[in-house]
Chain A
Amino acid sequence: MNLQIVMLLGQDGITNGAIYALLALSILLVFTVTRILLIPQGEFVAFAALTMAAMQGGTPVRLGWLLLALAAAALVMDSHAAWRRDGRIAVRRGPALGVAYAAGLTALTTLVPLAEAGVALQALVTMALIVPLGLALYRVFYQPIAAAHPLVLLIVSIAVHVVLVGVGLLMFGPEGARTEPFSDGGLRLGMVMLNSQTIWVVAVSLALILGLYLFFERSLYGKALRAAAVNRLGAELVGISPELAGKASFALAALIGSLSGILIAPITTIYYDSGFIISLKGFVGAIIGGLASYPVAALGALLIGQAESFSTFWASSYKEVIVFTLILPVLVWRSLSHHGAEDEE
């Protein structure tokens, strides 16, 4: 192993680590606000990448139908709740608008050929599909049981993941896809050629992390979300509804997930079921951060990226074994620094 190889492996590790870090952050965000381990986080990534690829390849974009179905389900659930509460069916504006939005977007993506629309517009449409998808997932699957035992939430998370992977196979087929790079060429830094997509990944990740930081530190909504994470009841008392907090955190997670998907789609082949394994590495990062600390989680995710890169070079067939076993020393360390028995509410 010479220096150049070390540099290249490091670069590879940073690219992957940056994606894992983004996912770790959104997993952590959703967990602290809603106590939900967002197992389907990876599906946002895969769906975004595959939707981009479908647009560029001129194959039918079917994600809109899923969004439409979920929006319709949300509308039905909402009306049903209204009926049980007031004894009459009422259609509220929010869910109705959701259906209209989903229908509009579905029409746009199925009728208008977007193959030549350019990467920026395609990315925008993709995010316009995925972000409300996160919101709708929360509304349909999690909101009715928001107060349930964390175990129930976890099981629902896994079930939603299973459903989404099944839907993914239907929508995108079993073969993988990749998209065109945002730009060609690269940047030469000393002896190492930096791939342009790598620069994109790192730059966008940094910008997103900075944006999140500003959002949570400076903006009112961000502060409200943080408040909801610290104390749900307290937040509710001052007018931040847990529903709003839940939806907002899911929408943010979907935004981060779709961006990650758009970013890595040009450098790799993404399959309908790729999301899970990618997001698991985000989970490992979140665990290193103790499911609490954002900076440590991000650093942990970067570490996973590096570990993955170097262990692949060292023994490629044992890569996954090494990466997932890495979690053990972290757990040992956490276990030793942990005292006493606590009840979980």
Chain B
Amino acid sequence: MKPGVLSKTPTVKPAVPMPKLSPSAWILLALLPVLAVAPLVLPTYQVTLANNIGIFALATLGLVLLTGVAGMTSFGQAAFIGVSAYATAYLATVSAADLPGPLAWMAGSPLAGLAVGLVLTFAVATVLGAVTLRLSGHYLPLGTIAWGLSLFYLFGNLEFLGGHTGLSGIPALSLFGIAFDRAEALFYLIWAILLLAVVATLNLLDSRVGRAIRALRGGQRMSESMGVDSFRAKMTAFLVAALYAGLAGWLYAYTQRFVSPAPFSLQAGIDFLFMALIGGVGQVWGAVIGAAGVTFAKQWLQDLLPHLLGRTGNFEAIVFGLLIVLLMQRLPGGVAGWIAKVFERRRHRPTGAVDDVDLPAAEPLPRREMPAKGEVVLEAKGVTRRFGGLVANRDISFTVRAGEILAVIGPNGAGKSTLFNQLSCVDHPTSGEILFRGERIDGRTARAMAGAGLSRSFQHVKLLPTMSVLENVAIGAHLRGSKGVAAAALRLDRAEEARLLDEARRQLIRVGLGQYLHVEAGSLALGQQRILEIARALCADPCLLLLDEPAAGLRFLEKQALAELLVKLRSEGMAILLVEHDMDFVMGLVDRVYVMEFGERIAEGPPETIQTNPAVLEAYLGGVE
């Protein structure tokens, strides 16, 4: 920590003597000794099961990230395992003479198998992701069903992969002189890789990229307007999931030492999805629970059902399916989700004090060069928007300057929302121009504008209810960081991450939510959620704030605090445009008011003159609200 940092931060933080252990760290600490002795005390068969569980859990971990966290469903996980397992098996069994000269060294090399397996998985996933991830949610599951099926049939038809009978005779794995020929030895390898993957996933989720991925589920419009590239985030999750499957495939080939098409069928893809959901949507440890749960459930059913039903056979699948239905009806969050919820209730109750104990102070992020006070930041020139025959905005022109608050008001149906959408680049004018700091921005994406310094809030609050307040706000600072997936997984992003979180903390304290940093955003009152949105917008270091009804749902004192905040921002040179219903709030605060009715301007000027403008009075008092 640099010596000058403390003086720059608004609140002085107490030193943190010992880092608090996260629940995952506790789980790891508890799990390690169990795993260390397990192969020594368990019979071989149990170790074999544990190995299978480890491999399944690795593939399921990818699905937890993809399905649980990012909200995308894929049946393709088994097929990805297959790609990698077949690549591994092929290279392990092929003779050097059968490979083209420069590649001959790959024959029999487990590491070459791993590399080729991962590269192939990556390549296939890239193509598949590119064509399905831009589409709405149901295309990915159906697309992966189709591709999983065609890959399954392809495996069976390729002569050099052993056709439907499969490739046998894979030698035992030997890495750097260590032979992994027995289930017990493989156990350590598999579980070490699995735990590393779990830790990497936890790290990834607790980072800038991780927040972007977590925002995919229900927060795409919001995160896009904060500069997050949703498609890229989806692709990241999809590729990481595929690579985990690739790793699992490599382990699978060396554990079974035989590959055939059947284990990579669609049925297996379905099983992985079951594991992810039983374990828990969005719970990283749920992957392990789910894989273990499904594996053991199948074992138990096979052992118990004949006793219960008095006859053998064929009931397992039925009972298993019914259990899944019941689980989905009773515990849609899965087992780990349920456990996490129970724990979550006990932690993080707001105490009234600023709750930033576990946050180290960090060097503030660099700020953008702000426009000089009085400079025109936003300009609308003859903006017209038609929907078919309906003209929602006709010839709207105004300017917003740095250090000024402009309010756009008007009765319901006046076209304010349409205008707001165009200003925030969600929608685009039919004719006319919108200029931001002198550049035309109509036609550009909301994401591009976030980077340019235009930041917004939403009329209907858009936040991620299960994420903490701090993390929600940190999404606003997405573009002010640059570290990627690898850095996040390996924790090389900590310095930057600390600066991002510190910025979020600073903005939250600034807007008066300092005591709620670690509570779930969804547990805040509506008014507080609106304030959170402003903090989030501020986190992007904007020079223009677009606020959509910021005072709606706020209590009197909260409104006062909001007004003070906006006044302060104005004095710092921020340009603010707000669309508002609340006249009292607007009149005491803003510099100028722009009044709309039926999509057209009816008045513009300082609040005092607007209040007495006959056209405005007519629109508000004479019209039906």
Contact = CB atoms under 8 A, between A and B. Distances in A.
Given A283-B145, A284-B146, A343 B328 contact: no
B110 interface: no
Nearest to B155: A321
Interface stretch (A86-94, A152-160, A229-237, A295-303): A152-160
A169 B134 contact: no
A145 B329 contact: yes
Contacts of A158: 270, 273-274
B321 A145 contact: no
Given A166-B314, A338-B135, A149 B332 contact: yes
B328 to A, nearest CB: 5
Contacts of B139: 287, 331, 334
B47 to A, nearest CB: 29
A150 interface: yes
A165 B281 CA distance: 26
Contacts of A170: 314-315, 318
A341 B274 CA distance: 28
A320 B164 CA distance: 15
A344 interface: yes
Interface string B279-311: 001000000000000000000000000000000
Given A150-B137, A291-B138, A331-B131, A163 B321 contact: yes
Given A150-B138, A155-B328, A324-B149, A343 B317 contact: no
A335 B234 CA distance: 14
A287 B321 contact: no
Interface string B228-266: 001100000000000000000000000000000000000
Contacts of A343: 218-221
Interface string B99-140: 000000000000000000000000000000011101111110
Interface residues of B, number: 49
Contacts of B379: none
Nearest to A333: B131
A343 B71 CA distance: 10
B220 A342 contact: yes
Contacts of A328: 131, 143, 146-147
Contacts of A31: 138
A287 B224 contact: no
B277 interface: yes
Interface string A159-197: 111110111011000000000000000000000000000
A151 B274 CA distance: 12
A158 B318 CA distance: 12
B161 to A, nearest CB: 13
A151 B71 contact: yes
Contacts of A203: none
Interface residues of A, number: 49
Interface string A121-153: 000000000000000000001001100111110
A31 B142 CA distance: 13
A151 B67 contact: yes
Interface in A313-330: 317-318, 320-325, 327-328
Contact of B136 (A144, A167, A342): A342
Given A148-B332, A163-B321, A341-B220, A317 B157 contact: yes
Contact of A154 (B73, B231, B325): B73
Given A150-B138, A166-B314, A166-B318, A159 B324 contact: yes
B230 A341 contact: yes
Given A162-B317, A335-B132, A321 B153 contact: yes
B322 interface: yes
B417 to A, nearest CB: 17
Contact of A141 (B149, B150, B325): B325
A148 B145 CA distance: 22
A280 B325 contact: no
B154 interface: yes
A37 interface: yes
B141 interface: yes
B329 A144 contact: yes
B317 A318 contact: no
A342 B143 CA distance: 19
Given A148-B332, A338-B134, A324 B150 contact: yes
B138 A37 contact: yes
Contacts of A324: 146-147, 149-150, 153
A120 interface: no
B143 A327 contact: yes
A334 B221 contact: no
B160 interface: no
A1 interface: no
A338 B445 CA distance: 14
B325 A160 contact: yes
Contacts of A156: 324-325, 328-329
A162 B315 contact: no
A332 interface: yes
Contacts of B146: 280, 284, 324-325, 327-328
Contacts of A322: 150
B332 A163 contact: no
Contact of A167 (B73, B132, B318): B318
A137 to B, nearest CB: 11
- A154, A160, A170, A335 interface centre (most CB from chain B within 10 Å): A154
Contacts of A323: 150
A332 B130 CA distance: 8
A172 B141 CA distance: 30
Contact of A163 (B136, B142, B325): B325
Contacts of B274: 155, 158-159
A332 B324 CA distance: 34
Interface string B209-222: 00000000011110
B320 interface: yes
Contacts of A148: 328, 332
A321 B147 contact: no
A335 to B, nearest CB: 5
A148 B277 CA distance: 14
A342 B154 CA distance: 35
Interface string B197-217: 000000000000000000000
Nearest to A284: B146
Contacts of B136: 342, 344
A162 B157 contact: no
Interface string B438-455: 000000010000000000
- B142, B147, B220 interface centre (most CB from chain A within 10 Å): B142
Interface string B313-349: 0111110111011001100100000000000000000
Given A155-B328, A165-B317, A167-B318, A37 B141 contact: yes
Contacts of A321: 150, 153-154, 157
Contact of A280 (B71, B149, B154): B149
A342 B300 CA distance: 43
B221 A341 contact: yes
A159 B325 contact: yes
- B71, B73, B146 interface centre (most CB from chain A within 10 Å): B146
Interface in B130-189: 130-132, 134-139, 141-143, 145-147, 149-150, 153-154, 157
Interface of A: 31, 37, 141, 144-145, 148-152, 154-156, 158-163, 165-167, 169-170, 280, 283-284, 287, 291, 317-318, 320-325, 327-328, 331-332, 334-335, 338, 340-344
In the complex, the 5 A-B pairs of residues with the closest C-beta atoms, listed nearest first: A163-B321, A166-B317, A166-B318, A162-B321, A159-B324
Given A151-B67, A159-B322, A331-B135, 18 more contacts: A144-B329, A151-B137, A155-B277, A155-B324, A156-B325, A156-B329, A159-B321, A159-B328, A166-B318, A169-B317, A325-B146, A327-B147, A328-B131, A328-B147, A335-B134, A341-B224, A341-B230, A343-B220
11 contacts: A156-B328, A158-B274, A159-B274, A160-B325, A162-B318, A163-B318, A284-B142, A325-B146, A327-B146, A331-B143, A343-B219
